[in-house]
A and B are shown apart, each in its own frame.
Chain A
């Protein structure tokens, strides 16, 4: 699991790659929550390079969305592959998280 950062004006873009599972989630949680706790208000998470996610990975997104909401910020997700998206759907996360097909849409909907 790895995260690379990019920035477009006030928008922080995080591109995640690899597996979000029980052996990597702690690092993922630290890296995703750090910018939120540092006060970032607009975050786009690109998951196009994520090929596996389990419940612990999902829970990090839930925590991140809650924390962003408390700080009046917004986090959007984009470019999930079909297998990963299916897991979000089964978990009922597609109705509570802002998920878009492309990075452009995710940026527009912040």
Chain B
């Protein structure tokens, strides 16, 4: 299991590739799984950092990665504004180029790349679990 605490700043996301790669090597995960793990974490964390805070205080985000029963579980816990990615509106990917909004794709990618998402708001904190089945 990997458990880390990141500051609520975008520059902290530079640490993600190394964290994910080391975890992946330990659990023999494919490069495709590592790509999707990195992407899911990046999208969720960037969302928290860019839109989750309405003050200038220092914030911490807790990230945990673990393998359980052939499933990769990622947990992200933050003290930002309530945000449930499961409630985010669907992006219409059929629209032509001109009508395609620039933005809102991150959550769409996470939903499609992960097998399951679970969200809870507890004690002023968002807790998101992202699950992905891993083929050994």
- Stretch from B60-68, B77-85, B99-107, B115-123 contacting the other chain: B99-107
Inter-chain contact B108/A90, CB cutoff 8 Å: yes
Q: B96 at interface (Cβ–Cβ under 8 A)? A: yes
Inter-chain contact A23/B14, CB cutoff 8 Å: yes
- Stretch from A6-14, A31-39, A53-61, A99-107 contacting the other chain: A53-61
Residue of B46, B105, B113 with most chain A CB atoms under a 10 A cut-off: B105
Inter-chain contact A83/B13, CB cutoff 8 Å: no
A22-B42, A62-B100, A83-B31 are contacts. A90–B109 as well, Cβ < 8 Å? yes
Q: A41 at interface (Cβ–Cβ under 8 A)? A: no
Q: How many residues on the A side are at the interface (Cβ–Cβ under 8 A)?
A: 23
Inter-chain contact A22/B97, CB cutoff 8 Å: no
Complex: A87 Cα to B112 Cα, angstroms: 10
How many whole Å from A80's CB to the nearest CB in chain B? 13
How many whole Å from B21's CB to the nearest CB in chain A? 11
Q: Beta-carbon contacts of B82-102 to A below 8 Å, as 1s and 0s?
A: 000000000101101110101
Complex: A91 Cα to B91 Cα, angstroms: 9
8 Å CB contact of A69 from B11, B97, B106? B97
Complex: A58 Cα to B10 Cα, angstroms: 18
- Apart from A55-B106, A96-B97, list 16 A-B contacts with CB within 8 A: A21-B42, A22-B10, A22-B13, A52-B17, A52-B35, A52-B38, A52-B39, A54-B42, A55-B43, A56-B106, A62-B97, A63-B102, A65-B97, A69-B98, A90-B108, A90-B112
* CB-defined A-B contacts under 8 Å, sample of 9: A23-B13, A52-B38, A55-B108, A55-B109, A66-B98, A69-B97, A83-B31, A90-B108, A91-B109
